[in-house]
Amino acid sequence: MVWDAVDGAESYNWKLDEASASVKNGTTRNTNIIIDGLSQGYTYLFAVQAVSSGGSSEFSAAVTLDFGGGSTDPATPDPGTDPSAGTAICVDSPLLLDLSSTPELGSSGFIKVFDSADNQVDAIDLADLATVTIREDGQMIPKTRIYIADGNTPAYVFNTFMDAPKCSGRWRPIHYTPLRLHAKALEIKLHSGVLDFGKEYYLTMDKDVIKGHPGLSKGDFTFKTKAKPTSSSELSVRQDGKGDFCTVQGAVSHSAVIGKSNNVVINIASGTYNETVFVRDKNNLTLKGESRDKTVIAYANNESYEGGSGGSATSKPVVGQAIPVSGGRGVILAESCDNLCFEGLTLKNTFGQEKGQAEVIYFNSNNKLIIENCALHSLQDTFLCKGSVYVHNSLIAGHCDFIWGYPKACLFEDCEIRAEAAGYIVQARVQNASDKGFVFLNCKLTVASGVKDGSMYLARSAGQSNAYDNVTFVNCTMSPVIAAAGWYGNPAPNPAPPTATSGWKEYGSKNASGAALSGHSSNGKYLSSDEAAAFSSKSAVLGW
C-alpha cells in the first residue's frame, strides 16, 4: 500500500479491517508498506493516520481492497504497491516489508528486484549474512577485515552485504547494512544506483529469507520510482520520501552527473542518515543540513572492519571476485574534489572504541575543503585531510591523533576541540617545511566529563624525517586537560627545535580564566606578535 506524504508527519499509523473486525495494524515512518498473509475471496478496508509531535490526525477514509469477493475467478492477493496508482518513491528509498511479528532472518535464499521487463537489477543473498555480525543498533559489520591482496593473503571477495556507491565513474567498495530488523517489519536497502528514475519494479523473496514467511512472487510487491530531479543547482534529501532523494549518497552521486563544476547545494533535512558517503571528482558541492544538531550522518567504520584510509576503483566490483581496492575506514571519503563544503551537519563515526583508526572524513584532495558550523565525532583519527582546509565554528571531538594528515594549510577558527579521552590532538605530516600545516586560531580546547587533567597533548610526531610537524595554536583557550608539557616529545618533532615558520608553535595561549599559559616544553616555540601575524587570520593562513 502507498499513500501521499502529509506535511509535518513524523510517522503513520495504519490499520486493515475485514467485516468491521481488525485484521492487522502497525506504525511506519515510510509512505508505503506491504501487508502479507491476506486471503483470497475477502474484502478488506485500509486506512492511515498521520502522527506528529502535536498529536494524530483522524484516520483517512477507508480504501476497499477486494481480493476476489467470491468470484469464480478470484484475484490473486496483491499486497504490494500498484505502480500505476501509487505514489512513486525515491530511487534510493529503503523498502519496508510489514509483517505480523518481528522477523527472524534465515541463512539462505535471495531477495531480488526486477524491472518491468523482468530484468534483474539487484540481489541480496542471505548466504552472505554469514560474513557479518549484527550490532545492537542493527548495523551489520564484517566479521573479517575487508582488505586488498598483500602478496601473502588473497584479497577480500565482494559479496551482496557490501556496497559500491558510484561517483564520477569510480566506485568505493564498502560494507553496508542491506537489511534491518524492526518490530513487525523488515527494512530492505538496495545497493546504490541499481534503480533508475521513473521506472517500475517488483521485488521477490525466497521463502527461506524470513523464517516462517512464505516468500514473495512477481506481483506481490511492486513499486515505481520518481522522475529525475529537474534542478541543476539544488537537490533535497528527506527520509520521509518528499525530497529528491532519501539518502545523502544518492544525492551526491547525482550531483556529479549534473556536472563536475556546476554549483550544487544538497539540502539535507533533519534526521539520522545511517550511511557512508563517497564523493569523487565533483567541484563546487555543498552538503547543507537543516540543523547542525538534528541532521546527522553516522555510520560505524574502523580499521578492523575495512583496512586503510581508503580509495576507489575504476570498475564496479563484481560479486564473487576480489575487491580491487579497499574503500577505507572513514565514514566520508572525498577524492579529487575542489570547493567541497559541509555546513550545518553532525558527522559521526559510531565505531565507539578508543583503540582503532576511525575517521569521520578523509579529504584526499590537494584542493579546497570548507567545514562550517558542523560537529565531527569519533575517537581515533577523527579528521584526516590534505589540501587547503577551512574549519569554522565547528566541534572536532576525539582522543588520539584526532586531527591529522598532510595539508598545505588547514585552519580551525573559532572552533571547539574536545578531548574525549587521554591522548593527542594533532599528528601532522606536512610535506613542505614552508607550508602552514595545522593552525588553530581563537579556538577552545575543552574536555569531556571524566577525562583526567593533564592527559591530552597538543601534538605528537609521526617521527618521519620527510614530513614536517607544522602545528600552530594562536590565541587559544586551553582547559586543564592539556598536559603541562603541552607537546609530546617522543619521537622528537621535525624540525627540532622549531622555527618561526616550521614545527610546533603557539602564541597567546591562556586558561579558562584568561590567564596566560607558560611553561610548555622546549619542543614547541613561543612566537612573538610579529611572528604570530602569519597565522592570525584566514587570509594569512589560506590566502582566501
Domains and their CATH numbers in the chain: 1-79 (2.60.40.10), 81-228 (no CATH)
Q: Is residue 390 a contact partner of residue 542, using CB atoms and an 8 Å limit?
A: yes
Q: How far apart are CA 288 and CA 302, in angstroms?
A: 25
* Residue 24 banded pLDDT, cuts 50, 70, 90: confident
Distance CA 449, CA 187 (A): 37
Among 10-19, 398-407, 489-498, the range scoring the smallest mean pLDDT is: 10-19
Q: pLDDT over 70 for what percent of the chain?
A: 90
**Alpha-carbon gap, residue 348 to 272, rounded angstroms:** 10
Distance in angstroms (rounded) separating the CA atoms of residues 195 and 384: 33
The rounded percent of the chain whose pLDDT value lies above 90 is 81
Q: Kindly state the average pLDDT of the residues 504-531.
A: 95
Quote the CA–CA distance of 535 and 529 in Å, as a whole number: 10
Predicted local confidence at residue 193, as pLDDT: 98
Q: Confidence band (pLDDT; 50, 70, 90) for 356?
A: very high
Give which of 246, 249, 204 is closest to 223, Cα–Cα: 204
Distance CA 379, CA 360 (A): 10
* Reported pTM: 0.85
| CB 332, CB 347: distance < 8 Å | yes
Burial class (CB in 10 A: 0-12, 13-18, 19+), 466: exposed
Neighbours of 133 (CB within 10 A): 10
H/E segment holding residue 123: strand 120-125
Q: 69 CB contacts (<8 Å, ≥6 apart)?
A: 41, 42, 43
* 221-270: pLDDT as tens digits: 999 999 999 999 999 999 999 999 999 999 999 999 999 999 999 999 99
Q: What is the mean pLDDT of residues 390-408?
A: 98
Name the more confident of 67 and 540: 540
Is residue 459 within 8 A of residue 427, CB to CB? The reply is: yes
Question: Does position 39 have pLDDT exceeding 50, yes or no?
Answer: no
Range among 17-26, 35-44, 141-150, 438-447 with highest mean pLDDT value: 438-447
Q: How confident is the model at residue 71 (pLDDT cuts 50, 70, 90)?
A: very low
User: Which residues does 99 contact at the CB level (< 8 Å), separation at least 6?
Assistant: 36, 184, 185, 186, 210, 213
Residue 47 near residue 60, CB atoms below 8 Å: yes
Compute the C-alpha angle 438/278/367, nearest 5°.
40
Q: How far is CA 199 from the centre of its chain?
A: 27
